[in-house]
Amino acid sequence: MTTQEKQNGSVMGTYGRFPVVLESGAGDTCTDEAGRSYIDFGSGIGTSSLGYCNEAWTEAVCTQAKKLQHTSNLYYTKTQADYAEALCKETGYSKLFFCNSGAESNECAIKLARKYSFDKYGKGRHNIITLINSFHGRTMCTLSATGQEVFHNYFFPFIEGFRYAAANDIDDLKSKIDNTVCAVMMEYVQGEGGVNALDKAFVDAVYEICAENDILVIADEVQTGVGRTGTFLAGDQFGHKADVTTLAKGIAGGLPMGACLANEKCADVLDKGAHGSTFGGNPVCCAAAGAVLKTVTEKGFLDEVNKKAAYFREKLSTMDGIKSVSGMGLMIGIELENKTALEVANAALEKGLLVLTAKTKIRLLPPLTITYDEIDKGLAIFKSVIK
């Protein structure tokens, strides 16, 4: 039996997987069972932000695993304390809650927003506005928050209290705001939705309306955060800091971790017993995330990310077969002229390049540490398969 047959035989068929069995990786490339190597322009799904088995990351993970792999949140660990303090300091947030995924980060943000409002105004101010074409996760609550009809099937009844407004349409958003709304949740760049950045004017208006009405802004930076767009948080480029920011994907370089960050206004809303997680803040994950944070915030690192992003975009702009390129930093959406994204992803795989898709687009989320040499090699393959 092949690995693929074995896996399909015992793992639920929830994924459309590519026909490749990955075995090992180093830097920007990974290798399959048969020994074929692939340049990875997807880095998991933006998770392995420092590439495969980065030296500092591996060292941090192994050291912690050999010392204390886990303890419950009934106790303190220095590893969690150090990382939490460093992340709050870097992002300017007051406090955070640790969990294990993007969906859980958003669950935390939703609970926090509803309780913030309940504590201050009492019952009835529980509605949350999200944007059409957004993606906030796969749990019942975050599916309900996700503003895409395709996700609102089968699993009825969904969680009440979400309203969907058109992205970049401030009048539509205004029409959905009343005194029952406690938060607006949005991605600065809609990732799964097709790598579409919000307009600065729209984002400005959201913050203004929310400030006027004591409505919390929740930035879902699960995909855009931790350097992906060229600043530590994508919000930095819009000149705004949300009341609550959620992180996951690239935060721990490939280990499961999420964080929900809150500013001084709402940092103490979730008090004893209001929320929790068995694994949240696991020391191995915190050690891994610490290595990512240290690397990404080193002097010049994000400048280098921006240079590489510009290099990618420059090269893509000269290629035939591309209609448009979207996104920010090393979060790149590519609209193709004649081929479907899946066709191109499959053809690229055949030639030794891994790319992601987002709706009808190709999506690239390469390691933030990718080398120019690998960018050149990968884009040469990409060019040959989009023609």
191 binds ligand PLP (CB under 6 A): yes
Q: Which stretch binds ligand PLP (CB under 6 A): 172-180, 218-226, 345-353, 355-363?
A: 218-226
Site string for ligand PLP, 240-279 (x = CB under 6 A): --------xx------------------------------
Which residue, chain included where needed, has tokens 């690229």? Answer: 348
| Nearest CA-CA partner of 281 in 91, 57, 83, 106 | 83
Nearer to ligand PLP, 79 or 106 (CB): 106
102 binds ligand PLP (CB under 6 A): yes
Nearer to ligand PLP, 192 or 374 (CB): 192
First to last CA, the chain: 37
The beta strand positions in the chain, using DSSP E, are 22-26, 29-32, 37-40, 95-99, 127-131, 162-165, 181-186, 189-190, 196-197, 216-220, 244-247, 258-262, 322-328, 331-336, 353-354, 356-358, 361-364
49 binds ligand PLP (CB under 6 A): no
Q: Which stretch binds ligand PLP (CB under 6 A): 88-96, 100-108, 125-133, 308-316?
A: 100-108
Residue 335 is classified by DSSP as: E
CA distance 351 to 168: 38
Out of 136, 275, 308, 363, the only residue in the binding site for ligand PLP (CB under 6 A) is 136
Out of 54, 223, 245, 326, the only residue in the binding site for ligand PLP (CB under 6 A) is 223
Question: Which residues make beta-bridge pairs with 363?
Answer: 333, 356
Q: Where are the alpha helices (DSSP H) in 250-371?
A: 283-296, 301-317, 341-350
Q: Which two tokens stand for residue 338?
A: 């004649």
Q: Which stretch binds ligand PLP (CB under 6 A): 219-227, 230-238, 337-345, 357-365?
A: 219-227
184 binds ligand PLP (CB under 6 A): no
Binding residues (CB under 6 A) for ligand PLP: these are: 101-103, 106, 135-137, 187, 191-192, 220, 222-223, 248-249
